[in-house]
Amino acid sequence: MRAILSVSLLYLRANISRRCQQSSVAFRDFRIARESDPKRQFSISQGGELTVAQPLDREDIPYYNLRIEAFDEVGNVGSQRIEIYLIDVNDNAPDLYTVPDPCIFMENTDPGQIPPCEIFGKDPDTRPNGPPFTMRVDPSYPFLKLVSIVFDP
Ligand SMILES: [Ca+2]
Ligand SMILES: [Ca+2]
């Protein structure tokens, strides 16, 4: 699940104005350098308020290094870098897969001759929202007595 955030991150006017004080004229515009926000997930107001404009996903982009530029009336430009780290939330379920895929157990074969089927899980979230996983077999599984299941610690 990804939520669209609309929170104000920073007010940049004061910091950037110190860098641009060679000119005594007022600011005309702020902008985010496009290469530092390729998916246009942030926006900045004329007052220098940086906000989240599009959903953020740590599994897609975990870190931003935005470059904010301010322009005054005569074209002087000041810039400021802003580092943004996303905090992980548990928004992905474990994805299970087997080796081999698919697992095939032949009938009428000595159990000792049947290669094991291993089940693994992956999850793009980080600890404690991702691996390691706890696996168990549903007690209502009808073939529980026919298979031997071993869990790695
Ligand atoms: Ca997860
Ligand atoms: Ca996540």
**How far, in Å, from the CA of 90 to the mean position of ligand 1?**
5
Q: Biggest alpha carbon distance in the chain?
A: 89
Q: What angle do CA 26, 29, 35 make, to 5 degrees?
A: 145
Instruction: Kindly report, residue by residue over 16-73, the tens digit of the pLDDT.
Output: 555 555 545 555 688 999 999 999 999 998 878 899 999 999 999 999 999 999 888 8
Q: Which stretches of 1-151 are DSSP H helices?
A: 13-19
**How far, in Å, from the CA of 126 to the mean position of ligand 1?**
8
Instruction: List domains and CATH numbers for the chain.
Output: 8-85 (2.60.40.60), 90-153 (no CATH)
Question: Does the predicted model carry a pTM greater than 0.75?
Answer: no
Instruction: Kindly report, residue by residue over 101-144, the tens digit of the pLDDT.
Output: 999 989 999 988 999 999 999 999 999 999 988 888 898 989 88
Which ligand lies nearest the alpha carbon of 2?
2
From the number of C-beta atoms within 10 Å of its C-beta (0-12, 13-18, 19+), residue 140 rates as exposed
Better-predicted residue by pLDDT, 5 or 26:
26
